[in-house]
């Protein structure tokens, strides 16, 4: 077969800050998926995109080409309306766990295709796999059946969904091009649009523990993804949310599951409850069902009932004891005052080094690894009181985890301003 383009000319187009044509984009994504365009050529193009950007037409076309590389799911046969949520990743971000059953309890089905952690941001599937028996891999038929019966499913995306993205993401991860906003946006949205959900709510994190460190970066990413969803006919909105401090009082795997169950039982940390309800309201409104108050479903225990059915449907035991760590270490405050800062990145890296995350794809994580926070910014601290408890199965990991926390918190005088979790909304 004679190829209509040459990879070098496509690279040179973007290198020279010109627009890629629709035909060039369709070809290069398809040719890379087929192996005609080499990894080093696609990495050059990805770097050119990082440096020179893409306009809305180019990003939309690139996203469609990624979708076209694989299958598309269709939920139109369900008796439910559907809505999904995607978070750009953070520390202590267990929101998917209580959110999916809560939205289902309100009458909207949630087909939540989730991922694993890489680096300091935790993975939803890794957290859920700390529940004895629970499995992430479902066939499309199993997923459809569970959605119809339970109304919520959290599982791994099948290999047939946007395979071009899977290949390109692995390349971006090792070539310093993860931060390219056009590529982040098309990576997320190609999978979400191919998934076939009727409405999508994006949780775009901003702060030290997020990929987007500045509000301007986060807003640009949110606006780009909302435009992509809108262009594809998916009702899409985004919340910009704070990730300068870890969400809740836990970061890790089993510890975050336990905290999620607390939220479903009507308790849990105020920031986790606030964001769970805010996202639930957005999902319900986007699906055209804003006549139900998710706060009431949380208080009534109906969301907890859906959680137990959802976990059981995937082979898990929702009443089983969660794994506990073989080793713990407590970090105590060395002075009295007000906790004015607790850096999300420092806590995330420490949890990762304890075994809660992986440094390369496919590496095993420790279910019991993580961190429990005993205070949040704004709290009054007394010298000698516990600030954080570190959990791991391998005590030799403590040294590097403690090193990651150095300079990661401040105890001062006066009061600390505690911002709302939700910063802004983009539609």
Q: Which pLDDT score is estimated for 123?
A: 86
Per-residue pLDDT for 361 more than 70? Answer: no
* Neighbouring C-beta atoms of residue 174, cutoff 10 Å: 11
- Mention the CATH class of domain 327-412: alpha beta
Beta strands 386-392 and 422-426: pairing type?
Answer: unpaired
CA 345 to chain centre: 15
With bands split at pLDDT 50, 70 and 90, how would you rate the model's confidence at 423? very high
Q: Which residue has the tokens 């050059």?
A: 44
Residue 155: C-alpha distances to residues 101, 146, 180, 193 (Å):
13, 11, 27, 16
Q: Which pLDDT score is estimated for 38?
A: 96
Active site residues: 86, 165, 172, 187, 191
Q: Which numeric CATH code is attached to 81-157+185-313?
A: 3.40.1030.10
Is it true that 81-157+185-313 and 327-412 share their CATH fold? no
Radius of gyration of the chain (CA): 22
The domain segmentation of the chain, as residue ranges, is 81-157+185-313, 327-412
DSSP state of 89: -
- The overall average pLDDT reported for the chain is 94
Residue 313: C-alpha distances to residues 123, 129, 140, 337 (Å):
20, 14, 14, 48
Q: Which pLDDT score is estimated for 260?
A: 98
Per-residue pLDDT for 132 more than 70? Answer: yes
Q: Which helix (H) or strand (E) holds 282?
A: helix 270-286
**2-40 tens-digit pLDDT:** 899 999 999 999 999 999 999 999 999 999 999 999 999
Q: Which pLDDT score is estimated for 178?
A: 82
C-alpha angle with apex 60: 54 to 63, nearest 5 degrees? 100
Q: How far apart are CA 4 and CA 2, in angstroms?
A: 6
Give this prediction's pTM. Answer: 0.92
Contacts of 166 (CB under 8 A, 6+ apart): 159
* Contact criterion met (CB below 8 Å) for 257 and 129: no
Greatest mean pLDDT among 95-109, 145-159, 179-193: 95-109
Share above pLDDT 70 across residues of the chain, in percent, rounded to a whole number = 99
Per-residue pLDDT for 233 more than 80? Answer: yes
Among the ranges given (183-192, 271-280, 316-325), the one the predictor scored with the smallest mean pLDDT? 183-192
């Amino acid at each position: 077969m004679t190829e209509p383009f040459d990879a070098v000319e496509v690279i040179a187009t973007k290198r020279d800050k010109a627009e890629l044509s629709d035909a060039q984009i369709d070809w290069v994504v398809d040719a890379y998926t087929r192996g005609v365009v080499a990894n080093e050529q696609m990495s050059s193009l990805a770097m050119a995109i990082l440096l020179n950007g893409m306009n809305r037409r180019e990003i939309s076309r690139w996203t469609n080409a990624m979708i076209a590389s694989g299958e598309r799911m269709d939920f139109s046969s369900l008796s439910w309306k559907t809505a999904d949520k995607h978070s750009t990743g953070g520390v202590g971000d267990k929101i998917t766990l209580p959110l999916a059953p809560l939205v289902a309890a309100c009458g909207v089905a949630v087909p939540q295709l989730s991922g694993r952690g890489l680096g300091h941001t935790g993975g939803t599937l890794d957290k859920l796999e700390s529940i004895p028996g629970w499995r992430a891999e479902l066939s499309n038929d199993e997923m459809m059946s569970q959605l119809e019966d339970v109304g919520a499913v959290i599982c791994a995306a099948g290999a047939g969904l946007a395979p071009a993205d899977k290949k390109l993401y692995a390349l971006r991860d090792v070539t310093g091009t993860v931060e390219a906003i056009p590529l982040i946006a098309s990576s997320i949205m190609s999978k979400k649009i191919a998934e076939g959900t009727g409405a999508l709510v994006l949780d775009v994190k901003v702060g030290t523990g997020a990929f987007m460190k500045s509000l301007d970066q986060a807003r640009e990413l949110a606006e780009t993804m909302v435009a992509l969803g809108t262009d594809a006919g998916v009702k899409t909105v985004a919340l910009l949310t704070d990730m300068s401090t870890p969400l809740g009082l836990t970061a890790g795997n089993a510890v975050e599951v336990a905290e999620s169950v607390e939220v479903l039982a009507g308790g849990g940390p105020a920031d986790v409850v606030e964001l769970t309800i805010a996202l639930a309201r957005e999902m319900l409104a986007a699906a055209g069902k804003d006549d139900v108050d998710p706060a009431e479903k949380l208080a009534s225990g109906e969301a907890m009932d859906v959680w137990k059915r959802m976990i059981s449907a995937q082979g898990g035991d929702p009443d089983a004891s969660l794994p506990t760590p073989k080793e713990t270490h407590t970090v105590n405050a060395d002075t009295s005052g007000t906790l004015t800062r607790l850096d999300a990145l420092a806590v995330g890296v420490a949890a990762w080094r304890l075994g809660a995350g992986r440094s390369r794809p496919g590496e095993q994580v420790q279910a019991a690894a993580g961190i429990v926070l005993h205070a949040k910014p704004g709290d009054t601290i007394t010298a000698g009181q516990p600030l954080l408890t570190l959990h791991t199965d391998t005590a030799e990991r403590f040294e590097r985890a403690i090193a990651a926390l150095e300079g990661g918190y401040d105890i001062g005088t006066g009061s600390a301003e505690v911002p709302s979790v939700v910063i802004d909304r983009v539609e």
